[in-house]
Structure 1
Amino acid sequence: MKLLKHILLFFCLIGLSSCVNRYNNMPAKNNTQARQTFAKSFAENFFSKCGKKDYSEITGFNMDVNMKNYFSQERNKTVCESFEKKYGKVEIGSLYAAKTNVYPSDFYDLFVFNVKTEKNDSVKYLRVGMTRDKDYINTFYLSKTPYNKWYKRKKK
């Protein structure tokens, strides 16, 4: 019976910890102006290339393997046309927040910028995620909320 109580307590703690905020404020030593500018310039570079209908590969930025595949020269036309169709022209504003993961494997920083889109007024934020050690871009996402407090999978 005592073991059952311990197991039940353990599962209750796991359940409560899953409701914890995924992001904390980024420490000042990681939230430098250079990193903010780097993240914002990546987004500006991408949207300006799309605006000019230049579908060449994005250069001058470190990207992880998945982002390189997403922004490859073969896919850039499709990605740009998709963004243009959904959002129209995108204007990137000021930094909204700089967050870091709560998890023990804390290597990921998230810069959230205010944006204005031509076609979709509900989209207000651009998330650009970077690894901390070498500033590799690994997240690029337009959203209605600045960041997810809880991770939930959408049912299909």
Structure 2
Amino acid sequence: MKLLKYILFFFGLISLSACLNRYNNMPAKNNTSARQTLAKSFAENFYAKCAKKDYSEITGFNMDVNMKNYFSPEKIKTVCENSDKKYGKIEIGSLYAAKTNVYPTDFSDLFVFNIKTEKNDSIKYLRMGMTRDKDYFQVFYISTKPYNKWYKRKKK
């Protein structure tokens, strides 16, 4: 009976530790240089538009519905102004990591790029999320950490 308790406890720890890490390394078939270039060019295109104060719609890239709403012409001006005020000029660097979600129901990949900002040295990473099948952008996020193990949205 005591052995059964130890075995159950051991399997419980293994299953708990498997749930802690949300991302695995992306398989080579999904981590192509074309997808990396596409993600980086989206970010560079966006920040170039901000630098030119061109707040028109972003074209030439596929975005999911939520991303399109976030990057609507009305909101681009606000996003650019806030970004300029908080971070100054943003320079996109090399690829830091390419990850994929652990859960089998997820269909997205995460490309994390190193960045340099003019005003804030603690901001070091840009996360770009893309769907696997059609390369639709769904995540665009600047942070101090490359990726979080647990991600909770803040309630407003």
Q: What TM-score comes out, normalization by structure 1 length?
A: 0.87
Contact 1:19 1:150 in 2 (8 A): no
Equivalent in the alignment of 2:142: 142
Q: Structure 2 matches for 1:3-152, cutoff 5 A?
A: 16=16, 19-152=19-152
Which residue identity lines up with residue 119 of structure 1 in the other structure?
K
CA RMSD of aligned residues (A): 2.3
1:96 aligned counterpart, secondary structure: strand
1:44-81 C-alpha deviation (Å, 9 max, x unpaired): 00000000000000000000000000000111111100
Deviation at 1:149, TM superposition (A): 1.7
Q: What TM-score comes out, normalization by structure 2 length?
A: 0.87
- Give unpaired runs (5+ residues) of structure 2: none
1:55 aligned counterpart, secondary structure: coil
Identity of aligned residues (%): 81
Deviation at 1:16, TM superposition (A): 2.1
Q: Which one is further off, 35-44 or 19-28?
A: 19-28
Take 1:147 and 1:89, find their aligned partners in 2: how far apart are those partners? Answer: 22
Take 1:23 and 1:126, find their aligned partners in 2: how far apart are those partners? Answer: 16
Take 1:29 and 1:18, find their aligned partners in 2: how far apart are those partners? Answer: 24
Which residue identity lines up with residue 58 of structure 2 in the other structure?
I
Contact 1:89 1:117 in 2 (8 A): yes
2:27 aligned counterpart, secondary structure: coil
Deviation at 1:104, TM superposition (A): 1.6
Contact 1:97 1:112 in 2 (8 A): yes
Contact 1:24 1:99 in 2 (8 A): yes
Which residue identity lines up with residue 98 of structure 1 in the other structure?
A
